Amino acid sequence: MIINNNNYSVLTGGKMKMKLVAVLSVILIIAFNTKYNAQNFNDALRLSEPEILTSARALGMGNAFSSISNDFSASLFNPAGFALIKKSQFESNLQYNSFKNESNFFNKITNYSNTATKFNQFGFSFPFPTSRGSFVVGFGYNQIKDFNRAVKFSGFNGGNYSLIQNLTSDNDDIAYDLGLSYPVYDSNNKYLNDETKINGKLNQSGNILQDGALNSWVFSSAIEIQQDIFVGVSVNVINGDFKRNREYWENDSQNIYPISVLLDSKDPYTADFQSFYLNDIIRWDISGWNTVVGIIGKIDESISAGLTIKLPKTFDIRETYFVDGHASFGTGKTYSLDPPIENRVEYEIKTPFEFTGSASYSLSGITFSLDATFIDYSRMEFADGFYLSDREKKNREIISLFTDVLNLNAGVEYVLPGTGIAIRGGFILMPSPYRDDPSEYDKKYLTAGLGFIGKGRFSIDLAYAYGWWKDYGDNYGTNLSRFYQDISKSNLLIGIKYKI
């Protein structure tokens, strides 16, 4: 769910049109941006929710791979799996994804999409000679998060509310600077608040594009501590970027505010309101780290079981927030933010623990596998940055909104006798982390894959995953300007493995 908290506070006792006084505009922008509070639980969730990106073989099996993990993808699932690798090897995967979103905004359907193609994995695994058991190290790169998202919406909101009114009720200088609101004073000429003559009945539209990724440089090692019991550890050094570009319009499509309506009685150019446009852009520069430990035990030749503990990831966020906008009137006048607002802030987010139990069963060329991952999203937190009271407020909000979930992964692989061809399939269920969300908000994926195991050093894997779920977003307030989303996501992975 996307819930925006775009709230600028006015700290001055009176008001002056900032577009007319350049020096004063800089002072006021600095003043109210120190009170700006854009960061919320959505930012913590964005970094905490697992991604399905792994390797082609694992994805083909629904990512139910933690008790198998006998290639470089052990760095993603269970580092103990490195100890199962018998020969040095190199592995790489290329992924293509398509994100499609059908939004319903006041009964008007709009489709939008976004695509991306990237290398999401490459790494090396090196077994070392031992007198008994095994000792293996691995290092390389994983893309652990893909931020590719898109939504577009448009429709007539017949209610008596708008973003213009929302900004005005917060005494936000954006509405004032664009000629959409005006100040009210008492009999002693003391500033009281802002008001606007806009009273809803506007066509509202917008689009939101997100992109970026989290990249992990990982070092792993694993050892067979006694016969058929393997333990391993991975250390991830994480970096990445994120960008969200939101454009939003409100238009007087039904001429509710004609030439006779002056939005500011002292400004004749504010008659015949036409449109309001706001563009806000968030950019993140991300760095972080975490540790993963795991164990795999072979119960017999057919059955394996595993346990993985992913310790919390600690992320340092360096955020730049940019806001621009304009309002147009039938008088020919257009007011713009001059200069646009730009704010920078740094803070720290810590994700929750992830505990995964896994098991697999193999017989006559067929393997069944199952993973179950427990995550308590209420333990996400803003660990540093902001004033202490503000940080605690954000963390209390996380505790009240989120709950624990059990993600399930199931997969099967069948190697056709005498061919070296593997056929794979799987299912992924990722319940919504929000309290009391219905099941249609759970993320569900069907996966399929093929493997071509060559007689020489090369093998090739292909995987496809199709996911679907519902979501919604609020442009402002709660259920005043809400767009409902039917989301589908497709991932195609191609992987190669070369035994050195």
List, for residues 39-58, the tens digit of each pLDDT value. Answer: 899 999 999 999 998 999 99
Residue-level pLDDT at 418 = 87
How far apart are the C-alpha atoms of 216 and 236, rounded to whole Å?
6
How far apart are the C-alpha atoms of 40 and 311, rounded to whole Å?
22
Q: Does the structure show a pLDDT above 90 at 352? A: yes
Residue-level pLDDT at 42 = 92
Q: Tokens for 433?
A: 């982390």
> Which CA distances in Å does 42 have to 193, 198, 397?
30, 30, 11
Q: What is the pLDDT confidence band of residue 500, given thresholds at 50, 70 and 90?
A: confident
Find, among 409, 411, 496, 401, the residue nearest to 448 by Cα. Answer: 411
Q: Cβ distance 99 to 149 under 8 Å?
A: yes
Burial of 400 (0-12, 13-18, 19+ CB in 10 A): exposed
Q: Does the structure show a pLDDT above 50 at 11? A: no
For 409-424, what is the mean pLDDT?
A: 95
Burial of 136 (0-12, 13-18, 19+ CB in 10 A): buried
Residue-level pLDDT at 38 = 60
Q: Does the structure show a pLDDT above 80 at 115? A: yes
How far apart are the C-alpha atoms of 180 and 166, rounded to whole Å?
12
Residue-level pLDDT at 257 = 97
Q: Tokens for 372?
A: 């179950």
Q: Does the structure show a pLDDT above 60 at 31? A: no
Q: Which secondary-structure segment (H or E) carries 396?
A: helix 388-401
Instruction: Tell me which fold the domain 2-499 belongs to.
Output: Porin (2.40.160)
Residue-level pLDDT at 354 = 98
pLDDT per residue as tens digits for the range 393-404:
999 999 999 999
Torsion angle in degrees (nearest 10) through CA of 197, 198, 200, 204: 180
Q: Output the average pLDDT for the chain.
A: 91
Q: Which secondary-structure segment (H or E) carries 58?
A: helix 56-60
pTM, 2 dp: 0.89
| Distance spanning both ends of the chain, measured CA to CA | 46
Torsion angle in degrees (nearest 10) through CA of 417, 423, 427, 428: 110
Residue-level pLDDT at 130 = 86
Alpha carbon 232 to chain centroid distance? 29
Q: Does the structure show a pLDDT above 90 at 276? A: yes
Q: Which of 18-22, 187-191, 275-279, 388-392 has the highest mean pLDDT?
A: 275-279
Q: Do strands 458-474 and 482-499 pair parallel, antiparallel, or not at all (unpaired)? A: antiparallel
Q: What is the pLDDT confidence band of residue 319, given thresholds at 50, 70 and 90?
A: very high
pLDDT per residue as tens digits for the range 65-80:
999 999 999 999 999 9
Q: Cβ distance 326 to 335 under 8 Å?
A: yes
Q: What is the pLDDT confidence band of residue 22, given thresholds at 50, 70 and 90?
A: very low
Q: Cβ distance 170 to 9 under 8 Å?
A: yes
Q: Does the structure show a pLDDT above 60 at 15? A: no
For 478-499, what is the mean pLDDT?
A: 95
pLDDT per residue as tens digits for the range 122-172:
999 999 988 788 999 999 999 999 999 999 999 999 999 999 999 999 888
Q: Cβ distance 168 to 250 under 8 Å?
A: no
Query: How does DSSP assign 282-331, residue by residue?
Result: EEEEEEEEEEEEEEEEESSSSEEEEEEEEPPPEEEEEEEEEEEEEEEETT
| CB-side neighbour CA atoms (13 Å) of 98 | 9
Q: What is the pLDDT confidence band of residue 353, given thresholds at 50, 70 and 90?
A: very high
Q: Cβ distance 243 to 283 under 8 Å?
A: yes
How far apart are the C-alpha atoms of 21 and 15, rounded to whole Å?
11
Q: Cβ distance 189 to 221 under 8 Å?
A: no
Residues 420-441 as b or e (16 or more Cβ within 10 Å = b): eebebbbbbbbbbbeeeeeeeb
Residues 6 or more apart in contact with residue 438 via CB below 8 angstroms: none
Strands (E), 377-476: 381-384, 404-415, 421-430, 443-453, 458-474
Give me the residue label for tokens 């990237």: 118
User: How much of the chain exceeds pLDDT 90, in percent?
Assistant: 86
Residues 6 or more apart in contact with residue 42 via CB below 8 angstroms: 1, 2, 3
pLDDT per residue as tens digits for the range 200-237:
999 999 999 999 999 999 999 999 999 999 999 999 99
Residue-level pLDDT at 19 = 33
Q: Cβ distance 247 to 112 under 8 Å?
A: no
Q: What is the pLDDT confidence band of residue 21, given thresholds at 50, 70 and 90?
A: very low
Q: How many residues does the chain have?
A: 500
